[in-house]
Structure 1
Amino acid sequence: MSGVRLAVWGDPIDHSKSPLLHAAAYRALGLDWEYGRRQVDAGSFPAAIHGLDDSWRGLSLTMPLKEQAFRVAKTHDRHAELTGAVNTLLLGESFAGFNTDVGGIIDAFAEHDVRSASRARILGAGATAASALVAVAEMGAQHVDVRARRPERALPMQSLGERLGVEVAVNGFADPVAAVDVTVATLPGGAMLDTAAAFATDGGTLLDVAYAPWPSTLAAAWPNEQVISGVAMLLHQAVRQVRVFVHGDPADELEDEAGVLAAMRTALTHPAQH
């Protein structure tokens, strides 16, 4: 063994497909690195992060740790700085924080030939919603409709929109709906939504970041050809995480990245083979 260790942390964590994806990537790259998972909640995060030894190279962070990871990072990439959320920590003498969710959303849309949008809708108001706002802004969106069960929770999205030069309207789920080019749903998996049919009408292409259970309430209401599962975002943000762990830069492509991506995709669709 090389002694290099990585893991995904969060709560809950048993459902995470990150160990499958990362193990496949390092195997394809010829790296004998260990990637595991650990259930860590917000209260135990500080002790857990400071208890790591020098064998640890990096961490992937999921709910509810992205904001805490931002706070422990000494440096942040632009996407992390904009969103206040870190889903990737490169460890060492100091912690470097990255947000690969933004690029994962953009790449998931691009994989389905959606590369631009002028109007977008985001469902949800958490850390992933902020990443979605940055992503659609980079795709060219000028008008974004943010929907939340409690609209007051989404008000910081308007401030972020101002920084991005994007007009952000905050509404409740039951408010009237106008046509958009893309919809990004950042709601928890299994969330029930009475207004799913209304959002599906002229909702453009849907990227639902949830992938279990599937189809989600939203995906079931949408035309099939206009639905992208959260597995696509998961895959592409993980590729960017691997770039961070290998090169220290989410924009620095891997050697034979197409082959690495294919291996990761196969691990998702045929996990028993790995």
Structure 2
Amino acid sequence: MTRTRLAVWGDPIAHSRSPQLHDAAYRALGLDWEYSRRRVDAEGFGASLQSLDATWRGLSLTMPLKESAHRAADVRDRHAELTGAVNTLLFAERLHGFNTDVGGIVDALHEYRVTEVDHVRILGAGATAASALVAVSEMGATRVDVRARRPERAAHLLALAENLGLDAHAAPFDEPPSPVALTVATLPGGSALDAGIVEPLAATGGVLFDVAYAPWPSSLATVWPGEAVSGLGMLLHQAVRQVRIFHHADPGIPLDDEAAVLSAMREALES
């Protein structure tokens, strides 16, 4: 019997915990599915995608492939359309693209008792920053302060914010900040900012939700004076939505006995 195959692609990819999460989920569901990891860069994405045969059910995508996957998808869910980023591909008659990062951020923040937000700061201007912007919008944010090394690269975030009805401002990291209750850091794992930049951001940044989880604590979390939350919760909850997609093609429909599946995935993550 041919096994159903899935994988996570990205570059770098050796640090990914996705195989542990997905393997635990499929064991809990009684599915003999194979989930692996593969190093694929943006240049090699198209050829790698074309090389897959009918045994493949789907892919998880991480940096730097989310925009490439968005372009490759024939149809996309609302979050993918809004953000221009796809982190999940489902192979069917047409190639379906989803963004489960948005829901993963919302679920992870809810788990840490952050359920409503107003003024939020987002650090970074990449694909994950767009997901964070949509996520905080769905949690009730009205104002967003975007900080980036090159603020001009945040133009797409400002356009997205306008589309969502948010008051957004883009500035360099060293512009004097106003206080916020939540900071969402979307910088790549291992990124470091100068102490003179971090200190005022941290002093006015409220709770830090850092999507990075390897290494942890991140350079930001190490110096953050208040609560700092890693991206493992986001990784867990976006993966649950991916499992829903791979299992029955809809991120909004819970799995059978999802509480047990989530528990198995959490245990795999914590081990």
Name the TM tier (shorter chain): over 0.9
Match of 2:250 in 1: 249
- 1:206 maps to which of 205, 208, 220: 208
Runs of 5+ unmatched residues, structure 1 = none
Poorly superposed stretches of 4+, deviation over 3 Å? none
Contact 2:2 2:55 in 1 (8 A): no
The residue that corresponds to 1:184 in the other structure is 184
Q: Does 1:77 align with 2:42?
A: no
Q: TM-score, normalised by structure 1?
A: 0.96
Give the 3 Å change call, closer, same or farther, for CA 140–105 of structure 1 in structure 2.
same
Displacement of 1:203 = 1.2
In structure 1, the partner of 2:222 is: 220
Cα RMSD after superposing both structures: 1.0
For 1:11, the equivalent position in structure 2 comes to 11
Distance 1:197 1:32 in 2: 49
The Cα of 1:202 is off from its aligned counterpart by: 2.9
Deviation at 1:216, TM superposition (A): 1.0
Larger displacement relative to structure 2 (98-107 or 195-204): 195-204
Report the CA distance between 1:199 and its aligned residue.
1.4
Whether the aligned pair in 2 keeps the contact of 1:211 and 1:231 (CA below 8 Å) is yes
Q: Give the Å deviation of 1:2.
A: 5.0
Matched letter for residue 40 of structure 1: V
CA distance in 1, matches of 2:48, 2:241: 24
- Aligned letter for 2:77? D
User: What is the CA-CA distance between 1:220 and the residue it aligns to?
Assistant: 1.5
Instruction: State the TM-score, normalizing by the size of structure 2.
Output: 0.97
Q: Which amino acid aligns with 1:231?
A: L
Q: Distance in 2 between matches of 1:35 and 1:103?
A: 22
- Which stretch shifts more, 186-195 or 11-20? 186-195
* 1:155 counterpart residue number: 155
Paired residues in the alignment total 269
Q: Is the 8 A contact 1:2 1:32 kept in 2?
A: no
State the secondary structure of the residue aligned to 1:132.
Answer: helix
Give yes or no for the alignment of 1:240 onto 2:241.
yes
Give the whole-Å Cα distance in 1 for the aligned partners of 2:90 and 2:102: 17
Amino acid at match of 1:42: A
The answer (yes or no) to whether the contact 2:8–2:62 under 8 Å persists in 1 is: yes
